[in-house]
Amino acid sequence: MKKQSLPELQKICSQLRRDVLRMVHTVQSGHPGAPLGCAEYFVALYFDQLHHNPDFQMNGKGEDLFFLSNGHLSAGWYSVLARSGYFPVEELKTFRKLNSRLQGHPATHEHLPGIRIASGSLGQGLSVALGTAQAKKLDKDASLVYVLMGDGELQEGQVWEAAMYAAHYGMDNVIATVDYNGQQIDGPTAKIMDLKNLKAKWEAFGWEVIETKEGNDLAAVIAGLEKAKSLTGKGKPILNLLYTEMGYGVDFMVGTHKWHGSPPNDEQLALALGQLEETLGDY
Amino acid sequence: MSLDLKYTYTEKKDTRSGFGDGFLEAGKRNPNVVGLCADLIGSLKMGDFQKEFPDRFFQTGIAEANMIGLAAGMTIGDKIPFTGTFANFATGRVYDQIRQSVAYSNKNVKICASHAGLTLGEDGATHQILEDLGMMKMLPHMTVINPCDYNQTKAATLAIAEYKGPVYLRFGRPSWPVFTPANQKFEIGKAWKMIDGKDVTIFATGHLVWEAVVAEAMLREEGIHAEVINIHTIKPLDTEAILESVKKTGCAVSAEEHQVNGGLGDSIAQTLILHNPAPLEYVGVHDSFGESGTPTQLLEKYGLNAENIVKAAKRAMARK
């Protein structure tokens, strides 16, 4: 895929946000907050970083692979997959509807191109990503495995089982990103179950940690992922702490957990779309 | 008194060793076969594979949830992972991981579980899972296999390596009669009629197939001819074989080292009630946990031996 300029990529971010809001609005269900905050990450990954083939092959041999562990960001993932050619953009309108391949949370059961495992029940994606990365090592396949987790998701114990494994086996072909927005369904993570010093935690588990402080600045996100890539192959797994704002891009949604799992009503949608330019054409 | 057994044995071996030997053989046959174990390599008899193929074997530490996720991920790269731990930790502890990452995602993971049931013995109820077959058979896409002796377990292990899809393979710890042929062909989902009979059918799985063989000889001494069918595959269930047999005998006994709630017996009951209602008696654990003891003591106390199968057969016949 030809690399696109920063302004072009920014246009995709805006369209992704529109897609997300329209998708959750149509069915009046889903999770808009976190995918709005991860728009830059999704676009940077699929349109700039990944060596991938939208002509989907499940085994992904020779390709960089991405796993979404926090499956409730499905609307954002589906948008970026459709916009990068995995399936028709029009199919976004079937999100969460009966007989759709775009299940509420990602699933392989319906054979949606781009999805390699189901996610939704939290805490499992890092383990899966590591398994796939281990298979790549066995096959001497030098491509990388990416995974995105939520920060609230780190409250699941399995994540730390996986963290231990990754360091023990020197899984240096894995770049894990934590969507560090400080929010979860019931409120701020600091109030619900404080994550304390995440950087120190991951470092103590034997990971190489980088911090992307401006997780909603596309150039910074790309720079962070470039840095992460430069650290692969050195014997340690890479953890990218991506500081984002939940609900970014819409002034009344930003920075609060209130839009974690609530769709906008008609009026709110109109207001939100007014702040997001339609750049690639709505589905 | 010596019984006139239709099947005999010259040695006793643990079914887990059948798994270990089959696993090594599967690894020799297919380079994509890989192993994972959560700190129980010796107990699962996975050491020979690890020694032969160190690069294809992954010690995961005491972290079963991660092990299941790793295995699911490996299948994406076309590997055929066999995970090993005790049946309790292989199912109940990681049910959600199996449900989402393996069963729903339809991944080619072989969940291999030792020390199932009461015959684990002295470790007691914390480790004696009696609910695993029920949990696993409820999951869509999951194949559930519970072989009866060393030879059948080895054959089953080789068969599941060839089969594409999630499998739960259950076996155990105790030294047990080896009464089925070496190098047998194992057909997933195909019940094996071991003894012909006409008065009652005994459907047995796992270690209790041997008890059913003994029970058949005991019943024959009293002039009762029992049919013995080895249900090594709980799911998919060979309903055709079940219905054909009960059509002839008119009543049945199920025998399993598992809770009667949700086990093989319930699957057979469901089959009968839908197609040919007939008396069925359960030999299994009745809504209780196990405890410490020797395997033989436990099978006796919880009513899972040949004597109890004989009693159940008579009860079933009386209800015809």
For the four alpha carbons of B294, B299, B300 and B302, in that order, the dihedral sign comes to positive
Is-cis flag, bond preceding A32, omega within 30? no
Q: What is the pTM of this model?
A: 0.97
Is the Cβ pair A138, B73 closer than 8 Å? no
Is residue B33 within 8 angstroms of chain A, CB to CB? no
Could you tell me which chain A residue has the CA closest to the CA of B60?
Answer: A165
Report the gap between the CA of B274 and the closest CA in chain A (Å): 29
Cβ contacts of A109 on chain B, cutoff 8 Å: 104-106
Percent of chain B with pLDDT over 90: 99
| B108 contacts chain A (CB < 8 A) | no
Sign, Cα dihedral of B8, B154, B16, B262: negative
Tell me whether residues B61 and A157 touch, CB distance under 8 A.
no
Give the pLDDT of residue A1. 56
Q: In which residue are the tokens 């894995």 written? A: A174
Average pLDDT score over chain A: 97
pLDDT beyond 60 at A242? yes
The Cα B66–Cα A25 span in angstroms is 36
A57 touches chain B (CB under 8 A): no
Res. B2: pLDDT tops 90: no
CB B215 within 8 A of CB B310: yes
What phi, psi does B10 have (nearest 5°)? -110, -15
- pLDDT (tens digit, 9 = 90+) per residue, B237-282? 999 999 999 999 999 999 999 999 999 999 999 999 999 999 999 9
- pLDDT grade for A42, boundaries at 50, 70 and 90: very high
Residues 65-84 of A with CB under 8 A from B: 65
Q: Which of B25, B52, B64, B122 is catalytic?
A: B64
The nearest CA of chain B is from the CA of A268 a distance in Å of 34
**B78 touches A at CB < 8 Å:** yes
Is A114's Cβ below 8 Å from some Cβ in B? no
Tokens representing A47 are: 């349109």
| Residue B225, token pair as written in the block | 């001819």
Residue whose C-alpha is closest to residue B161's, from B56, B14, B294, B284? B56
Q: Give the pLDDT mean for B86-109.
A: 98
Whole-angstrom Cα distance, residue A7 to residue A43? 12
Which among A124, A256, A243 is positioned nearest to A185, based on CA atoms?
A256
User: What pLDDT does residue A109 have?
Assistant: 87
Q: How far is A253 from chain B (nearest CA, A)?
A: 31
| Confidence check: pLDDT of B166 > 80 | yes
Residues of B in contact with A130 (CB under 8 A): 66, 69-70, 73
Say how far apart CA A208 and CA A176 lie, in whole Å. 10
Q: B interface mutation test: which of A127, A137, A143 has the most B CBs within 10 A?
A: A127
Cross-chain residue pair B69–A116, CB shorter than 8 Å: no
Is the pLDDT at A198 greater than 90? The verdict is yes
Question: Which of A72, A117, A132 to substitute to test the interface with B, most B CBs within 10 Å?
Answer: A117
**ipTM exceeding the 0.95 mark:** yes
**What average pLDDT does this structure show over B57-66?**
98
The angle formed by the CA atoms of residues B76, B82 and B86, to the nearest 5 degrees, is: 135
Do the chains contact at A129 and B106, CB–CB below 8 Å? Answer: no
Contact B100 A134 (CB under 8 A): no
CB contact residues (below 8 A), chain A span 151-190, against chain B:
157-158, 161-162, 164-165, 168-169
Alpha helices (runs of H) in chain A, residue ranges in sequence order: 6-27, 33-37, 39-44, 74-83, 125-138, 157-168, 189-192, 198-204, 218-230, 266-273
Catalytic site includes residue B64: yes
Share of chain B above pLDDT 70, in %: 100
Q: Is it the case that residue B1 has pLDDT exceeding 90?
A: no
Question: Searching chain B, which residue's CA lies closest to the CA of residue A140?
Answer: B77
Q: What is the pLDDT of residues A64-117, one digit of tens each?
A: 999 999 999 999 999 999 999 999 999 999 999 999 999 999 999 889 999 999
- Rounded to the nearest angstrom, the minimum Cα separation between B66 and chain A is 5
* Average pLDDT of span B115-134: 97
The answer to whether the CB atoms of A124 and B100 lie below 8 A apart is yes
Q: What is the pLDDT of residue A3?
A: 85
- Residue from the list B56, B70, B96 with its beta carbon closest to the beta carbon of A131: B70
